[in-house]
Structure 1
Amino acid sequence: MSAAFLIIIGLIGLIIGGEMLVRGAVSGAKSFGVSPMVIGLTLVGFGTSTPELVTSLQAALSGSSGIAMGNVVGSNIGNALLILGIAALLAPIAVDPKALRRDGAVMVLATLMCLAAVLFGEVSRLIGATFLMVLIAYLAFTLWSEKGPSISASEAVYVAEADAVPGPDYTLGISIGIAAIGLVLTILGARFLVSGAVSTAQAAGLSETVIGLTIVAIGTSMPELVTSIIAVRKSQGDVALGNVLGSNIFNILGILGITAIVQPMAVPLEIIRLDIWVMSAAALLIIVFTRSGWRLARREGGVLLACYVGYLGWLLA
């Protein structure tokens, strides 16, 4: 099979598999009586990041650390500039100050931790374990801080994220079946995508890191894009913002953490020289824009999107 065909099949498998996995997991959790807030914070956050996780694991185990690292860094850049830019262009996004102070601060912390690991030159098992422990602490603190009889604005965002998952509620057995099929499709899709990406890099004379930062990163970020568009169309722009912040946190602390625990990775020089700085600048840009009037306007979404187009142009040139 040609490399292009492998990539297309892989992306289709990741998109469909990721969507089925999230839908089945959310439906099953509802049948168990799990609160929408917990579903939105954990299952939706982890579920939409599953394509990135499986792809990075597959790439790292195959010896393609450039694709694994490029996938995480490129996904975060795409989330901040591409996905949030498109969402803000579709409709201005209102920002809840409390949620931004907490989740935005954790995203900045995760970004700084990733920057430090990249400049160190290697993501070891110890670094991966540290990332994962910080993620667990963040989730535990969020669940603890949202306890109470009344629903806070930030809790309402997680509830809305759970409601934004498409599809009806199923019985427990059907939910497990849908989630299992989704997981299988995601794993197979990741294998096809990594294989096609490696072949494409070799044929085009590009580094695996560049392919990971572009084709792989954009493809694995499709669940976040779909979730954000659905949220904006439902006039829930805060869900789109929460989805991006949460995904960027999960990508660094969860995906990079788990991948490094399974398979430590050396950081490609390309990422040290350019892409980690672009990811850090994109995270800072989100904070600056969202704190300006506690609103992400269309013009700011246009700036984010223009920055992403410029970054891709520079990367591929």
Structure 2
Amino acid sequence: MLDIIFLLVGFALLIAGGELLVRGSVAVAQRIGVSPLIIGIVLVGFGTSMPELVISVQASLAGSPGISIGNFVGSNIANILLIVGVAALIAPLTVTSRALKRDGGVVVAASAAFLIIAFVSPLNQPIGALFVAMLAAYLVFAIRQERLAPEEGHSAAFEMSQAEEEFLRNGDHWAARRLKWSNRLGRTLPYLMALAGLATIIFGGRLLVDSAVSLAREIGVTEAVIGLTIIAVGTSLPELVTSVVAARRGHSDVAVGNVMGSCIYNVLGIGGVVGLLAPTNVPEEIIRYDNFVMVGAAVALVVVAANGGRISRLEGTVMLAAYVLYIYSLWPH
């Protein structure tokens, strides 16, 4: 019972920390005028993947590869089948051809690369360095493709400076002074939020890993099953919330970009960092089953999205059903 309580507290800390990290990062991005798709792919994707990163590194260092690898493999499966499925049920998702070709292709390629490498090599430092280099190359390429056109409006930082000048021109020095302090606080607060979020994630991750290992022993399942299901779904909750909110507001680009960015970070970023900092073997059960499910889900996402550039409610329902079947196949019954 105590393990379950600690597990829930760990999840709560991860979610709260992830929220702080994402809000701080996005606030910075909005001030400098970053496009919605890049916010989804780079910042929101990175921020919401931090819980998985911390848990996977800590679990690997603690000698629990099932939780370490199962966490990010299971998160990718949940991202595609569960989160895209739920978001599509709320509102059919539109996928731009550019995002599909660039980001969808990278998701499939990264997943397939991990599947193949896991058969022939442990997740060691050379493989980790390769994955991190691939992630860096992808981000450079993606950012170069994304440029805010002038007609799309100025950044928040520019608008605030213009407002301050307007106050000064009108003689309202007190209002200008208040706005200046607000501007300074606005520059500092996002960084403080991000740092506080990161610290909360690290503490929550440690608590969650310890309780998950203990729970697996208590109920008689492998650590990989816990990592692929309970931890993977729990750490994917920020992605779920972000994508659902984006879908409800009609921002399909952010919803889909969030999922694709998170999937890319999970394999290349988390897999890469784990390989560099805490090399580990990929559990046999994940090599022979779950990696194939991950690749299959990635291919299915691209194929479905390529069919008319949208993901319908019916297709979302099928994705959810597939996820339920996958979870059912893992647990002993």
TM-score calculated relative to the size of structure 1: 0.90
2-structure distance, mates of 1:252, 1:39: 19
Amino acid aligned to 1:136? A
Letter in 2 for 1:303: V
Match 1:250 to one of 258, 265, 281: 265
The correspondence of residues 143-292 of structure 1 with structure 2, limited to 5 A, is: 143-147=143-147, 149=149, 171-292=186-307
Aligned with 1:308: secondary structure?
helix
Structure 1 residue ranges without an equivalent (≥5): 153-167
Q: Which residue of 1 aligns with 2:34?
A: 35
Distance 2:262 2:81 in 1: 13
Q: How many residues align?
A: 301
2 CA distance for matches of 1:104 and 1:29?
23
Per the alignment, residue 11 of structure 1 pairs with: 11
Counterpart residue identity of residue 175, structure 1? P
CA distance 1:137–1:48, change in 2 (3 Å):
same
SS state of the match for residue 250, structure 2?
Answer: coil
CA shift in 2, pair 1:85/1:41, >3 Å:
closer
Unaligned runs of 5+ in 2: 153-181
1:113–1:150 Cα change, 3 Å: farther
- Note the C-alpha offset of 1:227: 0.5
Q: Which amino acid in 1 is paired with 2:193?
A: I
Q: CA RMSD in A?
A: 2.0
* Mapping for residues 3-82 of structure 1, pairs under 5 Å: 3-31=3-31, 33=32, 35-36=34-35, 39-82=39-82
What residue number does 1:157 align with? none
Q: Does 1:295 align with 2:310?
A: yes
Q: CA deviation at 1:77?
A: 0.3
Q: Per the alignment, do residues 7 and 148 of structure 1 end up closer, same or farther by CA in structure 2, a change over 3 Å counting?
A: closer
Contact 1:18–1:183 under 8 Å retained in 2:
yes
What SS does structure 1 have at the residue aligned with 2:208?
helix
| 2:309 equivalent to 1:310 | no
Report which stretch shifted further, 251-260 or 37-46: 37-46
SS of the residue aligned with 1:100?
helix
> For each residue in 1:152-196, what CA deviation from the matched residue of structure 2 results, as whole angstroms up to 9, or x when unmatched?
9xxxxxxxxxxxxxxx99622322222222111101110111011
Give the 3 Å change call, closer, same or farther, for CA 96–36 of structure 1 in structure 2: closer
Q: 1:27 touches 1:172 (CA, 8 Å); kept in 2? A: no
User: 2:86 is matched with which residue?
Assistant: 86
Aligned-pair CA distance for 1:12: 0.2
AA partner of residue 196 (structure 1): S
| SS of the residue 1:35 aligns to | coil
Whole-angstrom distance in 2 between the partners of 1:137 and 1:312? 34
Partners of 1:271 and 1:143 lie apart in 2 by: 33
Q: Distance in 2 between matches of 1:149 and 1:35?
A: 11
For normalisation by structure 2, the TM-score amounts to 0.86
1:150 to partner: Cα distance? 6.5
- Seq. identity, %: 47
